[in-house]
Amino acid sequence: MHESAMMKNLVRQIDDVATREGAKSVVSISVWLGALSHFTPEHFVEHFREDAKGSLAEGAEVKFEVSNDTQDPKAQDAVLVAVEVSED
């Protein structure tokens, strides 16, 4: 359940950024995956593709930075780092 809630929150953040920018779509996102987030990049993309359906983020490329620092305060999180949008 934690992964589902985290992903829904992330997609909402992406849509908020895209809406503020007046975008028609999201080209790519960059995400930092904490060492204890329970996501591999492949697993993240699987969840992201499902939760992004129908949103401005649908079809966006996903770029990753994966942490191996289990002591990082955000080690259990997936953190949105950047959103690239298209106004076309």
pLDDT recorded at residue 2: 74
16 contact partners, CB below 8 Å, separation of at least 6: none
Q: Is 3's pLDDT higher than 90?
A: no
> Which residues constitute the domain of residue 62?
2-86
pTM: 0.90
Q: pLDDT tens digits, residue range 36-51?
A: 998 999 999 999 999 9
Residue in 78, 25, 72 with CA at minimum distance from that of residue 48: 78
CATH number, domain containing residue 18: 3.30.2320.50
Domain count, the chain: 1
